[in-house]
Amino acid sequence: MATIKPQADTHLDEFVGSLGGVSRRSFLKFCAGVAATIGLPAGMAWRIAEAASSPHRLPVIWLSAQECTGCTESLLRSTHPTLEQLILDAISLDYHETLSAGAGHQAEAYKQHSLQENKGKYVLVVDGSIPLKDGGIYCKVANRPIVDHVREAAEGAAAIIAIGSCASWGGIPSSSPNPTGATRVSEVLKDRAVVNIPGCPPNPYNFLTTVLQFLAFNSLPELDSKNRPKFAYDRLIHENCERRPHFDAGRFAVTFGDEGHRQGWCLYKLGCKGPETYANCPSILFGDVGSGAWPVGCGHPCFGCSEEGIGFTKSIHQLAQLRNVTPPAAYPNISEPVGQGITPGSAALVAGITGVVLGAGAVATSRLGSSSDNASADSNDEHD
């Protein structure tokens, strides 16, 4: 167990500069957040902080196949204080087509250098699907099919992460009719374990958390049967959705802009795929701008971007298949009854009961003597 050590404290202070202007406080807060996301005790934040600010930075090779750079964009837009700076300084991003300072032969040469130098130590990240049709000619970098790059880089990689739905299960490029024969990364690296972080784009924190766990503990998070980290993908969106109570109560938006839609009711009938999509979107949201900032929160049905066979496959307004909850056969009213006040009948009944109680009390009292002697001597007709 990592405990709070004084030297760790000073160590972090020394590296303030390396944090790219992030204050020590916000940096530690971020690391504590990461620790919490992967279910570690708060004390572990120190280890993550140490690892993330270590002078021996984790080399990362990022290969882009058939992709739209959305994954990179969303990663750069993660706004936990200047995270892009932090992550570029915490890890050594040795090759990334969008972000590398060098270009052309220079960038390729540096990649080769890093692959040799850090053999067995670097993390390989792939975004985009891999086209295999016609020898993989539909996506070429440096005049070689991307599949060759991926296989080459995978050889010396300590861990392989497929980021985005394209890399995880094929994504848009693999949608029918799939002209390029696009497929997932794990399909071309069958002998290697590939961590899938699906989503279009995936939430950057699911990726960062995975990387930082590897950085700090040299291990990968627990994965499900589709090799997705369980901390992020073990629950259906439907299970934690803020609109779930409306589903349970049978309150649905039926068309965009209708009464129910404006009231924030459940989007299931607009084709929301929350009931069949596994992701933590409702819990950690998107874009760091506060509550409601995720597709369903904004009023758009989830289209299952992270789920193979759902996103880019089922039509957006097709009804989701309910996995573990079926809606009741009969729904309660849309407009809740507000209750009715007093009615003549109920008023008469209450008055009658009050009268009977008071009357019976009065009769009983009158039959009671003022002393105990004659009490039991009194008889009454009721008992006949």
Partner 1 sequence: MSGHAPIAGRLLTKPFIVLALLFMLAVAILLARFIFGLGAVTNINDGYPWGIWIVIDVMIGTAIGCAGYAVALLVYLFNRGEYHPLIRSALMAGLFGYTLAGIAVIFDLGRYWQFYTLLLPWYVQLNSVMLEVAWCVMAYVVVLWIEFTPTFLERLGWHNIREKLSKVLFFFIALGILLPTMHQSSLGTMAVVAGHQISPLWQTQMLPALFLISALLMGYAIVPFEAILAALGLHQPLETPLLAKISAVALAVALFFLALRFGDLIWRDALGLALAGDIQALMFWVESALFIVPVLLLATRTMRTNPRLIFLAAISLLLAGSLYRINTYIIGYQPTAGATWSYFPSVTEIMVTVGIFALEVMLYLLFVKYLPVLHGAAAPPRART
- Binding residues for partner 1, rule: CB under 8 A, are 336-343, 345-347, 349-350, 353, 361, 364-365, 367-372, 375-376, 378-380, 382-384
Helix axis angle, 204-217 relative to 44-52, nearest 10°? 90
Pairing of strands 157-163, 122-127: parallel
For residue 381, CA distances in Å to 294, 332, 357, 360, 377 come to 75, 51, 18, 13, 13
Nearer to partner 1, 193 or 350 (CB): 350
User: Whose Cβ is closer to partner 1: residue 134's or residue 378's?
Assistant: 378
Minimum distance from residue 364 beta carbon to partner 1 (Å): 6
Query: Closer CB to partner 1, residue 254 or residue 358?
Result: 358
Give the integer Cα–Cα distance in Å for 179 and 145: 16
User: Between residues 292 and 361, which has the closer beta carbon with respect to partner 1?
Assistant: 361
225 vs 365, beta carbon nearer partner 1: 365
Distance, in Å, from the CA atom of 95 to the CA atom of 99, rounded to the nearest integer, reads: 8
Kindly tell me which of 7 and 371 has the beta carbon lying closer to partner 1: 371
CB of 323 to partner 1, least distance (A): 21
Minimum gap (Å) between residue 250 Cβ and partner 1? 14
User: For residues 85 and 384, what is the distance between their CA atoms, to the nearest angstrom?
Assistant: 95
Alpha carbon 138 to chain centroid, angstroms? 32
CB 327, min distance to partner 1, A: 16
In the complex, minimum distance from the CB of residue 244 to partner 1, in angstroms, rounded to a whole number = 17
Q: State the nearest-atom distance from the C-beta of 344 to partner 1, in Å.
A: 10
* Complex with partner 1: residue 135 or 359, whichever CB lies closer: 359
Specify which residues 99 forms β-bridges with. Answer: none
- Let me know if 274 is exposed, middle or buried by CB neighbors in 10 A (0-12, 13-18, 19+): buried
Contact assessment for residue 39 and residue 232, using Cβ atoms and an 8 Å cutoff:
no
Q: How many CA atoms lie within 13 A of 100 on its CB side?
A: 19
Give the nearest distance from C-beta 373 to partner 1 in angstroms: 9
Distance from C-alpha of 290 to C-alpha of 196, rounded to nearest angstrom: 27
